[in-house]
Amino acid sequence: MSNTIETQLLVIGGGPGGYIAGIRAGQLGVKTIVVEGVNPGGTCLNIGCIPSKALIHAAEEFAKVASYAAGTSPLGISVQAPALDLAKTVEWKAGIVKKLTGGVSALLKKNGAQLIKGWATIVDGKTVEVAGAGEDGGALRIKCEHLLLATGSDVVELPFLPFGGKVISSTEALSPTALPKHLIVVGGGYIGLELGTAYRKLGCEVTVVEAQDRILPAYDAELTKPVATHLQKAGVKVLTSHSVLGLSDGGALRVRDPDGNELALDADQILVAVGRRPKTDGFNLESLGLDLAGKAIKIDDQCKTSMRNVWAIGDVAGEPMLAHRAMAQGELVAEVVSGKKRHFMPAAIPAVCFTDPEVVVVGLSPDEAKAQGIEIKTSMFPFAANGRAMSLESTDGFVRVVARANDHRILGWQAVGVQVSELSIAFVQSIEMGATLEDIAGTIHPHPTLGEAVQEAALRALGHALHI
Ligand code: FAD
Ligand code: NAD
C-alpha cells in the first residue's frame, strides 16, 4: 500500500452509521474506504446495543430460574437454586459480539468497500491521515471526494465523579469480572435502567439515583409508571430528585436529597450513565470550522454539513442517538453520493427501552400532538385484557394510539409491556404508510398475540373495542 491513496468516499468511523454507509456505497459502485480506530461495529456492536441486550437476556433467564427455585411459581415449576458462572456468561456475550463484528468486516469486503484499521486525523475537508496504516508503518494519507463523519459519541463523565476505581461506565458494566454486592446507578435513563435491572436480576442490590423527579424523564409519565412499579417490586431502590455530589473520603457516594440533606450511600460499584455526547474532538475536526448545533455537527436533511462534500451521520450529528437512525442516515448518504435523490425525512424514528417491562415510543404522544395544536383521538388498550399477555404472566402495561381527529390518520403509538419492542415494527410501519385507525382496526391480527392489543387500541379509539 502506498502512503497516499485516493477514494471517492472516505468514512471515518465503522459503527452502524459508518459501516452501513460503506456497504451501501460499495453496492452502488462508489469507491469507498471506512477507517475504524477500534473495532468494526462501533459502540453498538462492541459496547452498546448488542452486548447490553445479551446481558439483559442472561439476567432474565437467571432471575426466572431463581423465581422457580423460590418455590412460589403459580406454574407449578420448581427447581434447585441456580448458580452463575459469570465468566462464562461474559464469554457468551463476547462470542456474539465477535460474530457480529466479524460479519461487518466480511460484509464490507463482499460489497467492495475497504476497511482500514487506525485512528483518522483530519488534514482538510478532502484529506485524512491514518497513523500506522502506511506501507512502512507510518501514516497513510487518504484523499477523497466526499468525507463522511461517523465518529459516534463518548460517554459523559461527571467532573465531580470521574471514572476509575469503583466508578464505572456502561463499558465496564457490560464486562463484569465479579458482581458487586451493591451497585449504585447514577442516571435513571436508558442505560441506567436497562443495566440496573439486569444487575438486580443477577442478584445485586441496586440503587438508582436520578436528578429529575421521575425515571425515564424523556418519556411521558403514564408510560413509565409500570417500569417504576416493577423496579419497586424487584427491590430496586429509586431515589428521584436527588443530586450527586461526589465521593466521600471513605468512598461512599454523597448525594443531596430533595430537602437539601446530604446522604452517604455505600456501594461496591457506581455506574454513571448520565448521557452521551457527540464525538467531535481528538481528530482535528475543529480545523474544518463546521457549523455546530450545540455539541453536535449541524446537518441538513441530506446529512450535509456546512462544508461542501463533508457529511455527518449518527450520534456525532446529535439526537436521537440510536443505532437504527445512524444506519438509515448512512444508507442515505451513500445513495446521495452515488447520485440518487434522497432526503432524510422519516415519518417517525422508533425508540425502545429494554427495561422490564419494555417501553416503545413511535411518533407523537398525546401531549406532543396537542402542543402542536393538533386535535386528536387517543385511546389505550391494557394488556390485562389480552390473553397472550396472561399466558406470559405479564399483564402490566398497555398500547396507546394517537390519531388526528378529523381523518383518523395515525400520528403516534406508545406501549409498555412484555416484549413490546417487537410491536415497534408494526407501529412505525403504520405511521410510515399513512395508516388510519380504520386500517389497523380492519386488519386481521393473529390470535393469541400481544399484537391484538394494537388492533384493540385502534378499535377503542373508534369507539368499538371488542375485548374491553
Ligand atoms: P458509533 O457506534 O459510536 O461508532 C463510531 C465509531 O467511530 C467507533 O467505532 C469509533 O471507534 C470510531 N471512531 C471515532 N473517531 C474515529 C477516528 N478519528 N478515527 C477512526 N475511528 C474513529 N441504540 C439503539 O438504537 N438501541 C439500543 O438498544 C442501544 N443500546 C445501547 C446501549 C449502550 C450501553 C450504549 C452505550 C449505547 C446504546 N445505543 C443503543 C446507542 C447506539 O450504540 C448508538 O446510537 C450507535 O452506536 C451510534 O452509531 P454511530 O455509527 O453514530 O457511532
Ligand atoms: P439518558 O439520556 O437516557 O439518561 C440519562 C439520565 O441521567 C437522565 O434521566 C438524566 O436526567 C439523568 N442525569 C443526568 N445528570 C445526572 C446527575 N448528575 N445525577 C443523576 N442523574 C442525572 O442517557 P444514558 O442512559 O446514558 O444513555 C445514553 C444514550 O444512549 C441514550 O440517550 C440513547 O440515545 C442511547 N441508548 C439507547 C438505548 C436503547 O435504544 N434501548 C439503550 C442505551 C442507550
447 is catalytic: yes
**Beta strand spans in 132-201 (E):** 140-149, 153-155, 167-168, 182-186
The answer for residues whose C-beta is within 8 angstroms of residue 259's C-beta and 6 or more apart is none
Q: DSSP class of residue 164?
A: B
Kindly report the backbone phi and psi dihedral angles of residue 381, in degrees, each rounded to the nearest multiple of 5, phi listed first.
-125, 125
Degrees, nearest 5: CA angle 140-288-138: 15
* Alpha carbon distance 343, 336 (integer Å): 8
* Alpha carbon distance 328, 318 (integer Å): 14
Degrees, nearest 5: CA angle 233-235-239: 105
Q: Are 399 and 415 in contact (CB under 8 A)?
A: yes
Report the nearest-CA residue for atom 38 of ligand 2.
190
* Alpha carbon distance 360, 380 (integer Å): 14
* Alpha carbon distance 201, 82 (integer Å): 12
Q: Rounded to the nearest whole angstrom, what is the distance from the C-alpha of residue 136 to the centroid of ligand 1?
A: 31
* Alpha carbon distance 468, 458 (integer Å): 13
Q: Rounded to the nearest whole angstrom, what is the distance from the C-alpha of residue 41 to the centroid of ligand 1?
A: 8
Ligand with minimal distance to 325 CA: 1
* Alpha carbon distance 4, 318 (integer Å): 32
* Alpha carbon distance 108, 200 (integer Å): 39
Report the nearest-CA residue for atom 27 of ligand 1.
49
Q: Rounded to the nearest whole angstrom, what is the distance from the C-alpha of residue 322 to the centroid of ligand 2?
A: 12
* Alpha carbon distance 133, 10 (integer Å): 15
Ligand 1 pocket by C-beta < 6 Å: which residues?
Answer: 12-18, 35-38, 42-44, 48-49, 52, 119-120, 150-153, 170, 191, 279, 283, 314-315, 321-324, 326
pTM assigned to the model: 0.98
Q: Rounded to the nearest whole angstrom, what is the distance from the C-alpha of residue 405 to the centroid of ligand 1?
A: 39
Kindly report the backbone phi and psi dihedral angles of residue 194, in degrees, each rounded to the nearest multiple of 5, phi listed first.
-65, -50
Instruction: Please choose, from the candidates 144, 98, 102, the residue with its C-alpha nearest in 3D space to the C-alpha of residue 122.
Output: 144
pLDDT tens-place values along the chain, 468 residues long:
469 999 999 999 999 999 999 999 999 999 999 999 999 999 999 999 999 999 999 999 999 999 999 998 999 999 999 999 999 999 999 999 999 999 999 999 999 999 999 999 999 999 999 999 998 899 999 999 999 999 999 999 999 999 999 999 999 999 999 999 999 999 999 999 999 999 999 999 999 999 999 999 999 999 999 999 999 999 999 999 999 999 999 999 999 999 999 999 999 999 999 999 999 999 999 999 999 999 999 999 999 999 999 999 999 999 999 999 999 999 999 999 999 999 999 999 999 999 999 999 999 999 999 999 999 999 999 999 999 999 999 999 999 999 999 999 999 999 999 999 999 999 999 999 999 999 999 999 999 999 999 999 999 999 999 999
Residue at 39: amino acid letter: N
Kindly report the backbone phi and psi dihedral angles of residue 227, in degrees, each rounded to the nearest multiple of 5, phi listed first.
-70, -45
The C-alpha cell of 165 is what? 476505581
Report the nearest-CA residue for atom 46 of ligand 1.
323
Half-sphere exposure of 370 (CA within 13 A, CB side): 5
Alpha helices in 248-398 (DSSP H): 323-337, 366-371, 387-391
Residue at 462: amino acid letter: L
Half-sphere exposure of 118 (CA within 13 A, CB side): 20
Report the nearest-CA residue for atom 24 of ligand 2.
275
* Alpha carbon distance 380, 382 (integer Å): 7
Q: Is 186 left (phi over 0), alpha (psi -120 to 50) or beta?
A: beta
Task: Give me the numbers of helices (H) and strands (E) for the chain, helices first please.
Answer: 13, 24
The C-alpha cell of 230 is what? 416493577
